[in-house]
Structure 1
């Protein structure tokens, strides 16, 4: 898969196979955290319904864990978004640098020094 590209994006952008592997890994991490959150929420609900003081005090830690998991999911999605934006930007820069001018010669994009 290394070096492969994926052009299944709606606008024809190509995405490197390594980028896809990173996305897949991140989505698996997100799914695992969401599965864990489901279990935490179930336990929190059971503790709440039991009205047992020890169970209710245990919920404080469970809710903190749930909040931390939610932060992790938000961070993972933010990283995914940044990675996708960089990948698409790099792909579009590569496409524009490889365009041909009307005379058939390669017309690379010139970068002016700042």
Structure 2
């Protein structure tokens, strides 16, 4: 279920590149986005990364890595877009909750669990 938001966001990034770049350019902390490179390139790259890592998380393949990669993408997006929009706290806390879910998968390695059943 956690992967769903990244899969939807990936399509939004890839199919609505200009609209996403416009959101970055209107963000209060847009300078954070520019640290990572030209926004259009970063929007496309993040869309690809969110799709691949989102599919990996969905399928249970390398969940720790997938969750870590998704967290690495989510943090600058949150700092750039949601933190500057302090009047609407819902999206900020949504991203914080999503980050909590990703941290759960980073901490708990389900690919290398040992059976404790007797």
What's the TM-score once normalised by structure 1's chain length? 0.39
More helix by share: 2
Larger relative contact order (C-alpha < 8 A, sep ≥ 6)?
A: 2
What's the TM-score once normalised by structure 2's chain length? 0.38
Structure number with greater Rg is 1
